[in-house]
């Protein structure tokens, strides 16, 4: 069985899009895949409740619990890695997981960790992508699913969706339209990835 572990920090809308696709398309039968766990770094992330309502296993590794460590980020990543590894994952899916991961963590899951980014990479890596696209006068932006590497938002591209930038767009209105496309391409990219590994 291909075990998927999804990491979230907030509402988990991409996680839900993936989970609903997995149920609707019977990934357990068609891809020999299942969502083994949804893990959040925030105990009160709304996505945890939403995942539980779909019958998914949820866990929390609270990053604030590591504040007293000499190297809090590495200490958090070490526990998170152990928590993920307990599920023997074929794929780790970052779905609105708002932590920059340490190189050691990334290397551990290299080749089997995906992320989605709200721009047409390589354009606008990092934060505030929608406002930056508007400020640059872009006529199009979009979303990108990519493999995670130690260089932020620079891994091999697996799937993209193009979204027009409208004349009256704000960062929020553009973000909402991009998000609807994220919900389409993330499950699609995961399916293609799992088929390529079969």
pLDDT in tens, 100-123: 999 999 999 999 999 999 999 999
Q: Which of 117, 130, 146, 183 is catalytic?
A: 117
Confidence of residue 182 (pLDDT cuts 50, 70, 90): very high
CA–CA gap between residue 110 and residue 170 (Å, rounded): 36
Residue 193 has pLDDT above 90, yes or no: yes
- Could you give the C-alpha distances from 37 to 15, 34, 93, 196, in angstroms and in order? 11, 9, 10, 22
**What does the CA dihedral 119, 40, 104, 118 come to, rounded to 10 degrees?**
0
Q: What is the residue range of 46's domain?
A: 2-197
pLDDT of residue 198: 79
pLDDT of residue 92: 98
Q: What average pLDDT does the segment 135-150 reach? A: 98
126 close to 99: Cβ distance less than 8 angstroms: no
Per-residue pLDDT of 6-29, as tens digits, reads 999 999 999 999 999 999 999 999
Bridge partners of 89? 3
Residue 59 has pLDDT above 90, yes or no: yes
Q: What three-state secondary structure class fits 87? A: coil
Whether 69 is catalytic: no
CATH code of the domain containing 80? 3.40.50.170
Bridge partners of 142? 162
* Number of structural domains the chain divides into: 1
pLDDT of residue 26: 98
């Amino acid at each position: 069985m291909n075990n998927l572990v999804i990491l979230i920090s907030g509402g988990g809308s991409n996680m839900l899009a993936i989970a609903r696709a997995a149920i609707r398309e019977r990934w357990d039968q068609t891809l020999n895949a299942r969502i083994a766990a949804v893990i959040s770094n925030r105990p009160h992330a709304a996505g945890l409740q939403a995942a539980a309502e779909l019958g998914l296993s949820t866990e929390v590794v609270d990053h604030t619990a590591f504040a007293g460590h000499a190297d809090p980020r590495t200490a958090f990543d070490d526990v998170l890695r152990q928590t993920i590894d307990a599920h023997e994952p074929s794929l780790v899916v970052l779905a609105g997981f708002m932590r920059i991961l340490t190189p050691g963590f990334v290397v551990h899951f290299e080749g089997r960790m995906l992320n989605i980014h709200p721009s047409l990479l390589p354009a606008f890596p990092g934060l505030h992508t929608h406002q930056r696209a508007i400020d640059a006068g872009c006529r199009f932006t979009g979303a990108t699913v990519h493999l995670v590497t130690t260089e932020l938002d620079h891994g091999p591209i697996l799937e993209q969706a193009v979204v027009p930038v409208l004349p009256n767009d704000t960062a929020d209105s553009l973000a909402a339209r991009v998000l609807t496309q994220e919900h389409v391409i993330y499950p699609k990219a995961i399916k293609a990835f799992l088929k390529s590994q079969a």
